[in-house]
Amino acid sequence: MGDCFSALHDPGVLLSAQGVTLFSLSLPQTKTATYTHSNRTQHSKSQTVAVVLRSQVAAPGVILSWRQLSACLQPVLQSQSPANPPIGPSRPDAAHEETNTVHKTSITHSELDERLSNLAESMDSYDSSVTGLAQKYDTGRVELEITKPTAWRRERAPGERSAANSIEEQFRFEVALILTQSREDEVLLARRIDFSRRLLDISLERAGLDFSDLSRPRSGSGLDSNLDRAGFPADLLRRWRELHALRKELVERNLYLVLINVERYAHTRVSRMDLMQEGSSVLFRAVDGFDWRRGWLFRTYAVHWLNQAFRSFLYNFGNTVRVPVYLQKAMKHVNEAMGRLGGQSTTAEEISKETDIAQNVVESAIGASRLTRSIDSELSHDSEGALRDLLAIDEASDGPYDPEMEDFSLQDGVDMALRRLSPREHFVIGLRFGLDGQLEHTLAEIAVRLGVSLERVRQIQVRAISKMNTPKLRKAIDPFLV
């Protein structure tokens, strides 16, 4: 290869790969070299790595592969004294041992639990002590252990497989594999979550961000993918991973609560899988609000959130046509009052006196209590017919729908709007928008037919539209607008 350093004109040379310093060479006139090796990055000799040699001044750069670099450095290494260390570790595990002894920056859950338990013996000073410990770990860049989800799942027995025929059965099978926690283990996990949240708060404060900012990455596709492109500091993202892993563990260990409490709402028309999904997501909110210092079990606190989430989902999505929550609550009291007072014949005034609910609210609740039923649904489990079979359908029509079934048709709304116009305005609007079976006309064509200027036709059109733009007409027309 010749003289490997002939292209370098400066004695100070920096060798780097992918931005990480590998060697720092000093090349005096005698071509002997002294060097310093960085243990941050280890490369296999069989792997071809592009190494860039560049001078600290404006010397031209030379790109060499690892094999070429080794060939260049071999004569220099042979001229070294035995006191000089070799490039790279002498044993395969030497770099690993050095990293562990010098750069140990992680702590296991058991070690953290021991320290937090010692601090918890004095609850009066616990908050200040834990905050101080969090600041110490942040300064020392101590990372918390991130446990794999398989750690809290039991191993499947030989031949054990899910015989699930649906997503719900598969979900139940997966939840059955998750190991439940004892009260003591639950407290330890809750302490870890609280400590991890303190570490994250410190990182957020240093970065000048808020917790809500983590859900809105400034660039990239998200926090879990392409973290280096998310636009946040690396230490902040690490703290977020640590907290999310602990929250996820507590949520998954309590998923069985979703399966137990969802049975209370099995009689509703809402899909059970929708309720399970809603319950699983709300457990994260329960984890964020749980305070282990109060001495409660997490499941006692989480059940409240689950029932609240289930009821809210039923209120918002239980009906085909959404009814406001206040009306649904009023409907419950109205139906109970009607049962006590004599059924459907009870008047709204009598129900209002019985329930202490305003009469107009009672009337709205009665009007909103109409059920919706698909015309394609079966009449009963025993019969094969559907509701559409009972409707009188003209064979020449496209289906069972007829405009006469509507309380208010689009034609009725248009006629109501046109009746507010003068004959001239009616004529202009009819031609301009092609009403009553006519073709649409331009303003110029209408001006010719009326014998007026184009600007005058435009003024008539604007005045007519303003006359029709009333709240009553908008209410009538809006259901037909897309």
Distance CA 33, CA 313 (A): 73
Q: What is the pLDDT of residue 202?
A: 94
Q: What is the pLDDT of residue 51?
A: 35
Q: Which two tokens stand for residue 407?
A: 């309380």
Name residues whose C-beta falls within 8 Å of residue 330's C-beta, 6 or more positions apart in sequence.
357, 361, 362, 364, 365
Region of 295 on the Ramachandran plot (φ > 0 left; ψ -120 to 50 alpha; else beta): left
Distance CA 101, CA 220 (A): 36
Distance CA 240, CA 234 (A): 10
Q: What is the pLDDT of residue 101?
A: 40
- In contact, 445 and 478? CB cutoff 8 Å: no
Distance CA 93, CA 99 (A): 10
Distance CA 411, CA 476 (A): 10
Torsion of CA 142, 144, 145, 148, to 10 degrees: -140
Q: How far is CA 239 from CA 142, 193, 207, 230, 439, in A?
A: 10, 11, 12, 14, 67
Q: What is the pLDDT of residue 100?
A: 40
Alpha carbons within 13 angstroms on the beta-carbon side of residue 61 total: 11
- In contact, 95 and 89? CB cutoff 8 Å: yes
- In contact, 360 and 330? CB cutoff 8 Å: no
pLDDT in tens, the chain (482 residues): 444 443 333 333 444 434 434 444 433 333 333 333 433 333 333 333 333 333 333 334 444 555 555 566 555 445 544 444 444 444 444 444 433 443 448 899 999 999 999 999 988 999 999 999 999 999 999 999 999 988 999 888 777 776 667 888 888 889 999 998 999 999 999 999 999 999 999 999 998 888 877 776 554 444 444 444 457 888 898 999 999 999 999 999 999 999 999 999 888 878 889 999 999 999 999 999 999 999 889 999 999 999 999 988 988 887 777 788 888 888 888 888 888 887 777 888 888 888 888 888 888 888 877 666 677 766 666 666 676 666 655 555 555 555 555 556 677 778 888 888 899 998 999 899 888 778 888 999 999 999 999 999 999 999 998 888 887 777 766 666 54
Q: What is the pLDDT of residue 234?
A: 87
Q: What angle do CA 129, 132, 134 make, to 5 degrees?
A: 110
